[in-house]
Amino acid sequence: MRYLHTMVRVSNMDASLEFYCRKLGMVETRRVDNPAGRFTLVFLAAGGDEAVARGAKAPLLELTYNWDPEDYGSGRNFGHLAFEVDDIYATCAHLAAEGVVINRPPRDGRMAFVRSPDNISIELLQKGVSLPKQEPWASMANTGVW
């Protein structure tokens, strides 16, 4: 068995690509427009996985945009996507500067949660061992749900 991709439905492809690509640093590896089915699929890879993803077409995040509007709810029942990052504090500082709410700050130097424009929970995990606790993160409260 080999992991291929995780699919999430998005309500606004432009807002989703802004979040996943520009803010999180993912890279679009391919796109499929299906006029007969009235949907667009965009496949994304984490920057560190791009070469493998382009060759093996995995591991990927598949954004599915259905051309006819639908209400997908809060997205909380999906669970979450998880990404390993080199520096949890720098990543969260970058996202906060980009206007992304840090719903669960990295108080422990290990884990944080944010949400996509479609309310998909995104877990950010520190690569390797946890970083030493650091302010302002160590004393920052949760915001909303994650």
CATH level 3 topology of 76-139: 2,3-Dihydroxybiphenyl 1,2-Dioxygenase; domain 1 (3.10.180)
- 33-68 as b/e: b if 16+ CB within 10 A: eeeeeeebbbbbbbeebeeebeeeeeebbbbebeee
User: For the chain, how long is the longest CA-to-CA vector?
Assistant: 53
For 25, other C-beta atoms within 10 Å of its C-beta total 14
Question: What one-letter code names the amino acid at 22?
Answer: R
Determine the Cα–Cα distance for residues 18 and 40; give it in Å rounded to an integer.
16
pTM, rounded to two decimals: 0.78
Given 28, 62, 123, 135, which residue is catalytic?
Answer: 123
Model pLDDT, residue 71 = 80
Active site residue 28: no
Model pLDDT, residue 54 = 87
H helices of the chain, in order, are 13-17, 50-56, 88-97
> Which pLDDT tens digits describe the chain residue by residue (146 residues)?
577 789 899 999 999 999 999 999 999 999 999 999 999 999 999 989 999 998 888 889 999 999 998 887 766 556 688 899 999 999 999 999 999 999 999 999 999 999 999 888 899 999 999 999 999 999 999 999 87
Give domain limits for the chain: 5-66, 76-139
Model pLDDT, residue 75 = 62
Region 5-66: CATH code: 3.10.180.10
Model pLDDT, residue 76 = 53
Decide: 46 and 86 in contact? Cβ < 8 Å: no
Model pLDDT, residue 59 = 87
Model pLDDT, residue 69 = 85
Distances in Å between the Cα of 79 and the Cα atoms of 18, 41, 62, 95, 117 are: 21, 21, 15, 21, 15
